């Protein structure tokens, strides 16, 4: 693996407060028709990274609004992802900063949302809220870059961009990886396997034949999350995040497209290694 050349980033403890943007005020009914509409491609890899950041920021702000509204008696214990107070930088500006200075790929951006479900499934103390979102995003994007990309930056670089000490980023990464049992490649059965592993204490090394033969296993996870995000927060009014006045929708011609190579690859694997169809597996948790 190679590492990307470091971009000069001034280390700061408060993370680029000057990059913050003011929220756009809510619109009246007379202005509803003036909101532009953008039709996004079905494949998240073809989507503009700026639009992806806006969509993900809307999704995260939507979740944060719900979780921050929970009664104090229902709040959970502190985790390593907690800040003492909510950072001054908005979710959008923080994620845009990470994307710009660490050259985050679309797969890494979508995976950061997937990792919320993955971590929450095995770590009940973790909740995405205004105190945890920044450290979680930094951890998720740095881990995702290393797991999904051919090249990535050093932790020293990621820590500078994210506004934390490098030693703290090491701790956050280790915490995340151990909680999800190093299952950082998006797969349909990751959450189920991680739950079983937590309950039984045994690592799952193989996938049951009936799961392996399921169409698009592992290939459609990120596109599924991408479509769901657009469905939930594509409307400008659907999230507290008002960074950009625009409605997003998915291209209707390809709402359920799947990579053609999936079935071909599976057929090739089964015909060249018939034993795969009968390989034993341990059933374990998410």
Mean pLDDT by 10 residues, the chain (286 residues): 49 41 45 84 93 97 93 75 93 97 96 95 92 97 95 96 96 95 88 79 64 56 94 95 94 57 41 40 36
Query: Can you give the pLDDT at residue 207?
Result: 59
Name the residue ranges covered by the structural domains of the chain. 35-278
Residues sharing a CB contact under 8 Å with residue 257, sequence separation 6 or more, in sequence order: 42, 43, 223
* pTM more than 0.85: no
Which residues make beta-bridge pairs with 39? 249
Query: Can you give the pLDDT at residue 190?
Result: 84
Encoded tokens for 220: 């459609």
Query: Can you give the pLDDT at residue 117?
Result: 94
Task: Establish how many alpha carbons lie within 13 A of residue 263's alpha carbon, considering only the half-sphere containing its beta carbon.
Answer: 3
Query: Can you give the pLDDT at residue 258?
Result: 46
131 close to 87: Cβ distance less than 8 angstroms: no
Query: Can you give the pLDDT at residue 192?
Result: 82
121 close to 197: Cβ distance less than 8 angstroms: no
Of 132, 135, 141, 85, nearest in space to 113 by CA = 141
Q: Nearest 5 degrees, angle CA 13-CA 16-CA 18? A: 135
Of 50, 115, 47, 32, nearest in space to 81 by CA = 115
Three-state SS sequence of the chain: CEECCCCCCCCCCCCCHHHCCCCCCCCCHHHHHHCCEEEECCCHHHCCHHHHHHHHHHHHHHHHHHHHCCCHHHCCCCCCCCCCCCCCCCHHHHHHHHHHHHCCCHHHHHHHHHHHHHHHHHCCCCCCCCCCHHHHHHHHHHHHHHHHCCEECCHHHHHHHHCCCHHHHHHHHHHHHHHCCCCCCCCCCHHHHHHHHHHHCCCCCCCCHHHHCCCCCCCCHHHHHHHHHHHHHCCHHHCCCCCCCCEEEECHHHCCCCCCHHHHHHHHHHHHCHHHHHCCCCCCCC
CATH 3.20.20.120 matches 35-278: no
């Amino acid at each position: 693996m190679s590492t990307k050349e470091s971009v000069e980033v001034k280390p700061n403890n408060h993370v680029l407060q000057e990059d913050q943007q003011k929220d756009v005020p809510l619109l009246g009914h007379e202005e509803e028709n003036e909101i532009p509409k953008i039709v996004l491609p079905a494949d998240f890899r073809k989507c503009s990274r700026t639009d992806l950041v806006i969509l993900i920021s809307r999704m995260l702000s939507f979740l944060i609004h719900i979780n921050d509204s929970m009664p104090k008696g229902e709040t959970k214990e502190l985790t390593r992802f907690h800040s003492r107070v909510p950072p001054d930088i908005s979710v959008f500006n923080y994620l845009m900063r990470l994307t710009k200075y660490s050259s985050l790929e679309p797969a890494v951006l979508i995976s950061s949302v997937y990792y919320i479900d993955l971590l929450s499934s095995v770590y009940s103390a973790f909740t995405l809220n205004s105190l945890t979102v920044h450290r979680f995003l930094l951890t998720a994007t740095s881990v995702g870059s290393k797991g999904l990309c051919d090249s990535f930056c050093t932790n020293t670089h990621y820590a500078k961009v994210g506004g934390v000490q490098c030693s703290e980023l090491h701790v956050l990464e280790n915490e995340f990886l151990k909680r999800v049992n190093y299952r950082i490649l998006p797969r349909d059965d990751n959450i189920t396997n991680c739950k079983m592993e937590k309950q039984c204490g045994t690592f799952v090394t193989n996938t049951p034949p009936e799961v392996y033969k399921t169409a698009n296993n592992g290939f459609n996870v990120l596109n599924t999350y991408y479509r769901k995000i657009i469905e939930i927060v594509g409307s400008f009014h659907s999230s507290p995040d008002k960074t950009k006045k625009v409605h997003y929708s998915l291209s209707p011609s390809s709402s359920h497209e799947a990579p053609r190579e999936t079935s071909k690859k599976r057929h090739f694997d089964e015909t060249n290694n018939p034993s795969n169809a009968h390989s034993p597996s341990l059933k374990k948790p998410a």
